[in-house]
Chains A and B, each alone.
Chain A
Amino acid sequence: MQRLTVPALLACLFAVLLWAAGTGALNVYWQSVLMFMGVNIILATSLNIINGNMGEFSCGHAGFMAVGAYVSSLLSVALFTKSQVFGEPLIGPSAAVWLFPLVLIAGALAASLVGLLVAIPSFKTRGDYLAIITIAAAYIVKSTIENIGAIGGARGFMGMSAVMSAMNETINLPWIMIWVFVGTVFSVWLIRRFIYSTFGKGVDAICQDEIAAEIMSVNTDRVKLVAFMVSCGLAGLAGGLFAHILGYVNPGTFTILKSTEIMVMVYLGGMGSLSGSVLAAILMTLLIEYLRDAFGFLNTFLHYISVIPDSYEVTQVWKWVVIPLLLVLLMQFRPEGIMGRRELADVFPGLRKFYKFKG
């Protein structure tokens, strides 16, 4: 029974989601909020490997997300639909349902290869200097995309919605919802297995003391390489899903602000805490959605009491004041985040009765 609790719960959740999305019990808005929640969970948990477990500081996660988003979008449009950029589809719309996961995997692999840009310098560089390298890597990605006119450049790239509707036409299911769910569960499972494996203990050892790790026979270069590639690859997976949820990607999405947003989730959840990152990603997604309404309300209210001039509107841009401010407050008053370095099962030991993991 212990071993089945988690899979059973996930299966129930999956069935409920499918039913709710299929019958319309969950409207399109809430569907997309849930899907962004999944994407954010992948982003936060994968960044947590580097910033939390390994104790490095990466601020370029959005860059790897962009690689995954573009590679999988370009592939799916080229393979499955007719488009201005690629002309006739290479395979055709009917294959989209079956080959879509491969497209996502290709995006993830591409992102993990770009992750080498950061992983290799990390052999010799640590801390602040590596943080600068991660920012540079993210900007390399962003400027490269902006300057390739053929795929839309700064205007962005679209056509993924057509792929999504082609999938629905073949078999009528909310496919993107299914893949976000599968991707999220897969990511959390993979990270959990990785961190709790013997090999993964090396990641924590590097965080504590690299020299001590080496004399305890940890191949620090290899551990760093794998950790960066797993993390960046999962960011790429999240990017691919993100692009297909929106049906449109734009390099402007993947700026340092996006990286900051992911970082806030990791620090909010607690560095090195997997369940903390999941929790924080869920909270942040809800918070951002709530802010959307709140700013609209605030705008009306402030205009009503005539505090601000009529020509000025309080817009969503203020999100980028509130989120960094949240980071400042968090560092000031609860630097260890919600969970600290602990996991859910450390806080509520009773939970252990209900599940069992290997490792």
Chain B
Amino acid sequence: MLLSVQNLRVKYGNIEALHGISFHVNRGEIVTLIGANGAGKTTTLLSIMRLPPPEAPKVVEGDILYEGQSILGWETHDVVRKLHMDLSPEGRRIFGNLTVMENLVLATYARKDGEEAIARDLDRVLSLFPRMSERRKQRSESLSGGEQQMLAVGRAIMTGCDFILLDEPSMGLAPLLMYEMFRTLKKLNELGLTILLIEQNAKVALNFAHRGYVLDTGEIKTSGTAEELKRDPEVKKAYLGG
């Protein structure tokens, strides 16, 4: 198991947002966490990545293990540097005033594995996302939403990560661009990238992932392979529209 979340209970002040959830991700897998608004998806991500305050939720019970080692309380930059695990955050958060290329290069900020590895990753990102290659000199705020999302994923890869957490990448994307992005992510997965996808759009998520968990009001309701979940009557009714 690459990442294993065990009986996680998380609070914002006095309000408990996660009531003891457990799930795991194996190396090389695509796992999805689906759920409606307020189910606790982003809270789960924030608990793993621990982004800077004040939004940070507080873990009151349970543990988060990376290859068996607890990473509870690790700071984001350490998670990125040492575990090669990165986040493509909600709202993308690219540096709008920099060009596409500058965004990608800046992501190598703390890499110590040499110019060659960086050049290889850059080649990979530019060839997998041809749009990035075309627009490498363009200011990234002038990109469309979908292209910005691709840039956010590309940037995460440039930090040298082999495990990526995606927070609602489909949000606000034109369907065509969304499918293009998921196809590329699938290719990246075949090249060895592990993916944890947090999604509201259950249909897309279950077509893309190997396994999935259904999160509802802070609890894991069901879990199983993507095929099983797609057939599950409850999931069908609540998330797939009949």
Q: Which residues of A contact B87 (CB under 8 A)?
A: 215
**Chain B interface secondary structure, helix, strand, loop or mixed?**
loop
Given contacts A217-B110, A217-B159, A218-B77, contact A211 B51 (CB under 8 A): yes
Asked if B52 and A216 make an inter-chain contact with CB atoms under 8 angstroms apart, the answer reads no
Which A residue sits closest to B80, measured CB to CB? A217
Asked if B86 and A215 make an inter-chain contact with CB atoms under 8 angstroms apart, the answer reads yes
Q: How far is the CB of A203 from chain B (nearest CB, A)?
A: 12
Q: Which B residues from 72 to 121 make CB contacts under 8 A with A?
A: 75-78, 80-81, 86-87, 89, 93-97, 106-107, 109-111
A215 to B77, CA, bound (A): 6
Chain A, interface size category, equals: 10 to 19
**Which of A198, A209, A216, A221 is within 8 Å of B159, CB to CB?**
A216
Asked if B95 and A215 make an inter-chain contact with CB atoms under 8 angstroms apart, the answer reads no
A218 to B80, CA, bound (A): 9
Interface string of B44-72 (1 = CB under 8 A from A): 00000101111000000000000000000
Q: How far is the CB of A185 from chain B (nearest CB, A)?
A: 29
Q: Does A353 contact B (CB under 8 A)?
A: no
Asked if B76 and A215 make an inter-chain contact with CB atoms under 8 angstroms apart, the answer reads yes
CB within 8 Å: A-B pair count: 62
Q: Does A212 contact B (CB under 8 A)?
A: yes
How many B residues touch A, CB cutoff 8 Å? 27
Which B residue sits closest to A209, measured CB to CB? B93
**Which of A201, A219, A220 is within 8 Å of B106, CB to CB?**
A201
Given contacts A124-B54, A211-B51, contact A216 B89 (CB under 8 A): no
A220 to B89, CA, bound (A): 17
Q: Which residues of B contact A216 (CB under 8 A)?
A: 80, 106-107, 109, 155, 159
Q: How far is the CB of B119 from chain A (nearest CB, A)?
A: 17
Asked if A211 and B77 make an inter-chain contact with CB atoms under 8 angstroms apart, the answer reads no
Q: How far is the CB of B112 from chain A (nearest CB, A)?
A: 11
Give A residues with C-beta under 8 Å from B.
Answer: 124, 198, 201-202, 205, 208-212, 214-221
Give B residues with C-beta under 8 Å from A.
Answer: 49, 51-54, 75-78, 80-81, 86-87, 89, 93-97, 106-107, 109-111, 155-156, 159
28 A-B interface contacts by CB (under 8 A): A124-B53, A124-B54, A201-B109, A208-B95, A209-B93, A210-B52, A211-B93, A212-B89, A212-B93, A212-B94, A214-B52, A214-B76, A215-B80, A215-B86, A215-B159, A216-B80, A216-B106, A216-B155, A217-B77, A217-B107, A217-B110, A217-B111, A217-B159, A218-B109, A218-B110, A220-B52, A220-B77, A221-B75
Q: Which 5 A-B pairs have the closest CB atoms?
A: A214-B76, A217-B110, A217-B80, A212-B93, A219-B77
